[in-house]
């Protein structure tokens, strides 16, 4: 089996929809220590996804190697695999993405001139020196142009855009110190300041009214420290999508954690309503195994039941006395 084909197969796993590509590109920008990241979409990303960063960039050699399979610069031995601090580490995202799209890359590590690389369906078409400031500017266009079956699965522009907005919101929440900007056909959908203040990001995303109503919470046990913000039952949403869990700076999805956040409210939440919540969990990376699925969105955690108890009790404590039963009239 040739490389192009195996990359295309691997792409099926990592590159599900435009949002999955945005995730990989933005995570690379974050791993490169960027402080400003701009994401510009056309046709919800199906036509074009452009991610620009001011990170450490790539040398000429790395810029070409980045599209080879297993070309990660982030892991060098097995020990690293259990102490992952970067968001990427498999070194297959770019190879996969390149196999089902067209890529235009400009990058510079600030040491030498800079490089441009152009790839078409996984084939290198052009690679040469080009003047560029330190950082990276990568455009992925004509997504799935050579895999029409996949293209057929794409939902409406609105649905695909919704997935990407949800994703960028969560990346921004996980990285309050990075200034994010998301645009669609030059309309700004999200802009954060990079001030480092998570509550400010919550306000940028969900609005000032929500941010003002947020109740902070904080707690720790022997292994984990948690902190975050949650709304009271008087300000809920009709979907679980407004609950965000961040473990060691990585946004993850955990049904178990969502469950205990809800449990903390006991029966005070109206049926089918969910709080807006952001929960940060920090612990030794050794306790969290992110190497479960290529999307790295699900993780395995040691001492999980103790952690769940900690979350439930901490939130319960924070909202205690503040919870009023919706619709109930206060006695004078
Ligand atoms: P991984 O992130 O798992 O290492 P990727 O396929 O996503 O693998 O990227 C391959 C390599 O390309 C990275 O390890 C990194 O060295 C380089 N790279 C990709 N994007 C950027 C970026 N925006 N800035 C600097 N380096 C990058
Ligand atoms: Mg990556």
Domain ranges, ordered by start, for the chain: 3-191, 208-319
> What is the distance in A from the centroid of ligand 2 to the CA of 34?
14
Pair of tokens at residue 232: 């009271």
The whole-number pLDDT of residue 296 equals: 62
User: Is the CB of 30 within 6 Å of ligand 1?
Assistant: no
User: Is the CB of 72 within 6 Å of ligand 1?
Assistant: yes
Q: Find out if CATH 3.30.565.10 is the number for domain 3-191.
A: yes
Cβ atoms 228, 277 nearer than 8 A: yes
Range 208-319: architecture per CATH: 2-Layer Sandwich (3.30)
> What is the distance in A from the centroid of ligand 1 to the CA of 237?
36
| Contacts (Cβ under 8 Å, ≥6 apart) of 179 | 35, 36, 37, 191, 192, 193, 194
Residue 60 to residues 64, 87, 197, 253: CA-CA distances in angstroms? Answer: 7, 23, 36, 36
Residue 71 to residues 3, 64, 91, 118, 134: CA-CA distances in angstroms? Answer: 13, 10, 5, 17, 21
Considering only CA atoms, which residue is closest to atom 7 of ligand 1? Answer: 93
Low-confidence ranges of the chain (pLDDT < 50): 328-332
User: Is the CB of 57 within 6 Å of ligand 1?
Assistant: yes
The whole-number pLDDT of residue 330 equals: 46
User: Is the CB of 32 within 6 Å of ligand 1?
Assistant: yes
What is the DSSP-derived secondary structure letter of residue 121?
T
Pair of tokens at residue 239: 């979907």
Q: Ligand 1, closest atom to CA 95?
A: 6
Round to whole Å and give the CA distance between 232 and 253: 22
User: Is the CB of 69 within 6 Å of ligand 1?
Assistant: no
Considering only CA atoms, which residue is closest to atom 12 of ligand 1? Answer: 66
User: Is the CB of 64 within 6 Å of ligand 1?
Assistant: no
Q: Ligand 1, closest atom to CA 29?
A: 23
User: Is the CB of 203 within 6 Å of ligand 1?
Assistant: no
Least Cα distance to 173 among 209, 137, 198 occurs for: 198
Q: Is 193 exposed, middle or buried (0-12, 13-18, 19+ CB in 10 A)?
A: middle
The whole-number pLDDT of residue 83 equals: 58
The whole-number pLDDT of residue 277 equals: 97
The whole-number pLDDT of residue 118 equals: 97
> What is the distance in A from the centroid of ligand 1 to the CA of 66?
6
> What is the distance in A from the centroid of ligand 2 to the CA of 70?
10
Q: What is the pTM of this model?
A: 0.89
Other Cβ atoms less than 10 A from the Cβ of 256: the count is 14
Considering only CA atoms, which residue is closest to atom 24 of ligand 1? Answer: 57
> What is the distance in A from the centroid of ligand 1 to the CA of 293?
18
Pocket-testing residue among 15, 26, 37, 72, ligand 1, by greatest number of atoms within 8 A of Cβ:
72
User: Three-state SS for 299?
Assistant: coil
Considering only CA atoms, which residue is closest to atom 10 of ligand 1? Answer: 66
The whole-number pLDDT of residue 71 equals: 60
The whole-number pLDDT of residue 331 equals: 44
Torsion sign over Cα 317, 207, 197, 172 = positive
User: Is the CB of 91 within 6 Å of ligand 1?
Assistant: yes
Round to whole Å and give the CA distance between 181 and 158: 19
Instruction: For residue 256, report the phi and psi dihedrals to the nearest 5 degrees.
Output: -60, -40
Cβ atoms 275, 231 nearer than 8 A: yes
């Amino acid at each position: 089996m040739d490389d192009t084909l195996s990359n295309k197969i691997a792409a099926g796993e990592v590159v599900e929809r435009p949002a999955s590509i945005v995730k990989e590109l933005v995570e690379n920008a974050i791993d490169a220590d960027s402080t400003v990241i701009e994401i510009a979409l056309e046709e919800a990303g199906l036509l074009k996804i452009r991610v620009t960063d001011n990170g450490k960039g790539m040398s000429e050699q790395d810029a070409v190697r980045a599209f080879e399979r297993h070309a990660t610069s982030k892991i060098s031995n097995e020990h690293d695999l259990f102490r992952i601090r970067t968001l990427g580490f498999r070194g297959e995202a770019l190879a996969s993405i390149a196999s089902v799209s067209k890529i235009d890359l400009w990058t510079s590590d600030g040491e030498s001139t800079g490089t441009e690389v152009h790839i078409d369906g996984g084939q290198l078409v052009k690679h040469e020196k080009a003047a560029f400031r330190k950082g990276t500017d990568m455009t992925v266009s004509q997504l799935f142009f050579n895999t029409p079956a996949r293209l057929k699965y794409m939902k409406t522009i609105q649905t695909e855009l919704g997935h990407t907005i949800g994703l960028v919101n969560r990346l921004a929440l996980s990285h309050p110190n990075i200034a994010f900007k998301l645009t669609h056909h030059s309309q700004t959908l999200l802009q954060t300041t990079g001030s480092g203040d998570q509550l400010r990001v919550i306000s940028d995303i969900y609005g000032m009214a929500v941010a003002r109503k947020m109740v902070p919470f904080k707690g720790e046990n022997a292994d984990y420290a948690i902190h975050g913000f949650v709304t009271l039952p008087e300000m809920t949403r009709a979907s679980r999508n407004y609950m965000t869990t961040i473990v060691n700076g990585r946004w993850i999805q955990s049904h178990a954690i969502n469950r205990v956040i809800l449990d903390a409210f006991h029966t005070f939440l109206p049926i089918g309503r969910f709080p807006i919540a952001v929960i940060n969990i920090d612990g030794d990376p050794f306790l969290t195994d992110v190497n479960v699925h290529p999307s790295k969105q699900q993780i395995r955690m040691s001492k999980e039941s103790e952690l769940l108890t900690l979350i439930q009790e901490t939130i319960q404590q924070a909202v205690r006395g503040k919870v009023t039963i919706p619709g109930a009239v206060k006695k004078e």
